[in-house]
Amino acid sequence: MILTTTATIAGYRLVETKGLVRGSTIRAKHVGKDILAGLRTLVGGEIKEYTKMMAESREEATQRMISAAEELGANAVIEIRFSTAMIMSNSSEILAYGTAVVIEKE
């Protein structure tokens, strides 16, 4: 599966558009991590626990998007975007979406 944020892929031509595909996950904050994050805000620096959680969430959403594209018979997803939204005070959604397509080498 080829994934790209662009509308075209060098060396390939678009054969068929399968449609919009998406994958999402909703993650809740962990109380223990919140305490560590609160302490880090006092001294500054990266909040590694949340960086890791968000990276895992993006990966899970991407894999779900890929599965949706494969179900449609696509071999690529173009114009991929990511979006986040707060669902409630302690959780957020990560959404990956793009256009599932069939491509072939030129």
Give the model confidence (pLDDT) of 72-85 as tens digits: 999 999 999 999 99
Tokens of 30: 């962990």
Please give the single-letter amino acid code of residue 19: G
- Model pTM? 0.85
Q: For residue 100, what pLDDT band results from cuts at 50, 70 and 90?
A: very high
Give the model confidence (pLDDT) of 23-79 as tens digits: 999 988 665 555 665 666 666 677 777 788 889 999 999 999 999 999 999 999 999
Identify the pLDDT of residue 39.
Answer: 62
Domains annotated for the chain, with CATH where assigned, are: 2-105 (3.30.110.70)
19 Cβ contact partners less than 8 Å away, ≥ 6 residues apart: 72, 99, 100
Is the distance from CB of 101 to CB of 19 less than 8 angstroms? no
User: For the residues of 42-59, what is the DSSP string, one character each?
Assistant: HH-S--HHHHHHHHHHHH
